[in-house]
Structure 1
Amino acid sequence: MSFKKLTGSLLFRIIVAIVLGIVFSLFFPEWLARVFVTFNGLFSNFLDLFIPVLIFSLITPAIAGIGRGAGKWLGVTAGIAYSSTVLSGLVAFGVATLSYNWLLGDERVDTLVDIDEGALSPYFTIEMPAPFEVMTALILAFCVGLAMTAVKSDTLHSAARELESVVMKVIKTFVIPLLPVFVFGVFLSMGMNGNLIDVISSFAKVLVLAVVMTVLLVVVQYLVAGAVTGRNPFTALANMLPAYATALGTSSSAATIPVTLASAKKNGVPDNVAGFVVPLGATIHLAGSMMKIALFALAVVHMFDMDVSAGQVIGFILLLGIMMIAAPGVPGGAIMAAVGVLQSNLGFDADQIALMIAAYIAIDSFGTAANVTGDGAIALVVNKLSKGRLRSDKDDEIETDGVLNTSKP
């Protein structure tokens, strides 16, 4: 990787922001720190306004596109992908429940930024009310997306795709470039308020746990695929290692698709099955991302001693599985799509969201690698179920145009 490409990556900029935030917290004057606190307040208010719009604009065309898709086998593949993603979240919930009491112990943080009057408070704030709530956006997206499919409205579908492009432009040119500044402000505030070491040490343990769990997730997926198909799971997994390694380097499911396709074919999956399942999986199968987000979110809940019930967590996981379908195709896109559910279902505030973003991006490539390698397991299962054919009868043809948005991170 060239130096220019390295310094231009979001991961590099996030790491630099974290390091600078920690170092500058040792000597920054209060008046200057309040500039970044003011920016963080404005940026988080903008996210509150923008996230419902993002959810509606990305999920609506995704639902409409799936409705126009390949009939029976698209439904089967989507069902397997969603089930895998949700099960990954439920496993993360179980692991967190069993391990966080001894892994994180009694480590608690009352607040990331303990603001006293006149200390690290913003110079001013601007309220930015959202046009509608997150849940309203999700329900509207489903209703409008399904309705467009039912009435075969090409005009509305085109308009939805254009709105999606506009929102993606905002994400790429405004939200993503400002994330390092946002993260810098959060770590600067944590350092100046004396609770930085506790937060960092606790999250370091969770980062290691998340990496281990994403690897175990892939192994389990291939054990299941091997049991269903009768193939040696370890041989099949070994054939997918080039895709895993490529995803580690690119942090992009889309960029890894050619390698994932070749690896799936090496496992004996026919061209027509691999050519359908792999690009679709790159769009809707994010079990690795789900594992990371769930583990990090539950760590925040534990560390901040938040009153969150098991029912809330399960609801969060079920909704997050849907959000992953529409995660924008930019680095860190999955965590950006999850922000609305983290706020609405778990009650996360802006600083907790920033901590989630920083932790997620720090090991982004491991989640992506788990996602694409899992696509190979799904391809094996779908090939077994369909016996190499992706049609239920002569009228159930594959029409992937308008279905596959393969720009998933």
Structure 2
Amino acid sequence: MNTILKSYSSIILLLMGITIGSLVGLFVPDLVLYIKPIGDIFLNLLFVAVIPLLFFAISTAIANIESNSQLGKILGVMSAVFISTIAIAAVLTILGLWAFPVTAITQSNAASELISTNAEDTWGDKIVRFLSVGEFVHLLSRQNILAFVIFSFLIGISVRKSGEAARPFLQFLIAGNEVMKNLLTLIMQLGPIGLGAYFAYQVQTLGPELFGFYAKPLAFYYIFGIVFFFTIFSLYAFIANGRKGIKDYWRFNITPSLTAVSTCSSLATLPANLLAAKKMGVPNYIASVVIPLGNTLYKNGSSISSILKIYVAFAILDWNFFEPTTLITAVGITILVSMVAGGIPNGGFIGEMLMISVYGIPNEAVPAIMIIGALVDPLATILNATGDSLAAMLVTKFSGEKFSSAENTSAEPIEM
């Protein structure tokens, strides 16, 4: 018993914090106003730490990869894993909706204020803003996380190309990476309190809206998503590393899952994912590339919700969702939506605007899409965020690299 308590003490404390937060959100909602700042402080600390952590982790990983061919192989396998598994999630959702149709919901104007688009922007303008920034200082904002990831990636390549002249800078990157990992360990010690406070806010805010017009679509998403989470993710873990892969994934995925459901942010979950992947035996040079890129570009939860939102919009408008051209377009849109939904809370609105633009969905269906997007966010974030470490496992498998076993023998599932 003492061994179990020692091994899982951090997980037990997190569960206690989230349980207490849930009870506060349900039964003492007036108290949420006073404890939410604690959760905000914890979340802000994570966001502040993520930017330098990403820079040092990605730059160091790229700079230390042995050859250009190895880097190219990792990126190629990663792209194949991302696109194929996102498409699988979309197709399975379509089959689920065909087998269990969801009744159209009544429209509402409750989310109309969430729509904010600039009609003067072309898609080219949006792509430029998504991939790059005009000034260096803007790279440090989490709103531009993909541009920052690309910059860090290019720094790593530049270090490799600079040879011996860059040796001092490489040592700086390696030292910075160690410092940021230790900073993360310190911040995560506040996890039980911070996540508990933020979870109280989530329960108090979303709880009343989970029943009503949106009950059937939400029931489908949460039932289908939970089944997908445990069955398909287990299948992927088995493909990656056999039975040991399943055991390691579910053993070390607990903290990322709890972080995701509490914060509704893939970005806030990224540090926990990096720690978990290490415990799962994923080589550091793979995890430090795949997980940060996956945080922005790889989202199973967004794939499922994208299909559901298109389906609901078509049902409201009395359009035929199951027409072949519509289905093919839906899968294509889903892959794009999953890649443009940033790792920030409620970041899927950009993808929803893409969906509305492609299909020409009129205004009366837009609020329903936006509300569903907000209400499925907790589970969508779990699927989005925890799929990143799973993708790193699959990349390790298909790139021919070896899983390490030393980290899996550690008594502590996730260092906090």
Band the TM-score falls in, shorter-chain normalisation: 0.5 to 0.7
Match of 1:365?
Answer: 378
Matched AA of 1:330? I
Say whether residues 1:131 and 2:145 are aligned partners: no
Match of 2:389?
Answer: 376
Match of 1:95?
Answer: 96
Post-superposition Cα deviations, 1:191-230, rounded to whole Å, max 9, x if no partner, equal: xxxxxx9x97552111011112222222213213313432
CA drift of 1:234 comes to 3.8
Give the 3 Å change call, closer, same or farther, for CA 130–223 of structure 1 in structure 2: same
Task: Say which of 266, 281, 286 aligns to 1:253.
Answer: 266
Contact 1:203 1:299 in 2 (8 A): no
Superposition map of 1:129-208 within 5 A: 130-131=119-120, 134=123, 159=134, 168=143, 201=212, 203-208=214-219
CA drift of 1:4 comes to 4.9
- Structure-2 separation of matches of 1:388 and 1:90: 29
Superposition map of 1:64-83 within 5 A: 70-83=71-84
Say whether residues 1:216 and 2:227 are aligned partners: yes
Matched AA of 1:3? L
Superposition map of 1:4-403 within 5 A: 4=34, 6=36, 70-100=71-101, 103-104=102-103, 130-131=119-120, 134=123, 159=134, 168=143, 201=212, 203-219=214-230, 220-239=232-251, 240-308=253-321, 309-334=323-348, 336-388=349-401
Contact 1:96 1:299 in 2 (8 A): no
| Aligned residues: CA RMSD | 3.9
CA drift of 1:370 comes to 0.9
Contact 2:295 2:343 in 1 (8 A): no
After TM superposition, the score normalised by the length of structure 1 is 0.56
Post-superposition Cα deviations, 1:111-145, rounded to whole Å, max 9, x if no partner, equal: 768xxxxxxxxxxxxxx9833665x668x769x97
Post-superposition Cα deviations, 1:347-370, rounded to whole Å, max 9, x if no partner, equal: 322342222111221131111111
Contact 1:316 1:345 in 2 (8 A): no
Give the 3 Å change call, closer, same or farther, for CA 9–237 of structure 1 in structure 2: same
Percent of matched pairs sharing the same residue: 21
Give the 3 Å change call, closer, same or farther, for CA 349–4 of structure 1 in structure 2: farther
- Structure-1 separation of matches of 2:371 and 2:143: 21
Matched AA of 1:211? Y
Give the 3 Å change call, closer, same or farther, for CA 112–163 of structure 1 in structure 2: same
Match of 2:43?
Answer: none
Contact 1:77 1:378 in 2 (8 A): yes
Matched AA of 1:290? S
Contact 1:272 1:389 in 2 (8 A): no
Q: How many residues align?
A: 272
CA drift of 1:283 comes to 1.4
Gaps of 5+ in 2: 1-20, 22-31, 41-67, 110-116, 145-208, 404-416
- Structure-1 separation of matches of 2:287 and 2:387: 13
Match of 2:7?
Answer: none
Matched AA of 1:82? I
Question: SS state of the match for residue 381, structure 1?
Answer: helix
- Structure-2 separation of matches of 1:313 and 1:8: 44
Give the 3 Å change call, closer, same or farther, for CA 345–163 of structure 1 in structure 2: farther
CA drift of 1:344 comes to 2.6
Gaps of 5+ in 1: 11-67, 114-127, 146-156, 170-196, 391-409
Contact 1:277 1:378 in 2 (8 A): yes
- Structure-1 separation of matches of 2:93 and 2:254: 24
CA drift of 1:249 comes to 0.5
- Structure-2 separation of matches of 1:244 and 1:5: 22
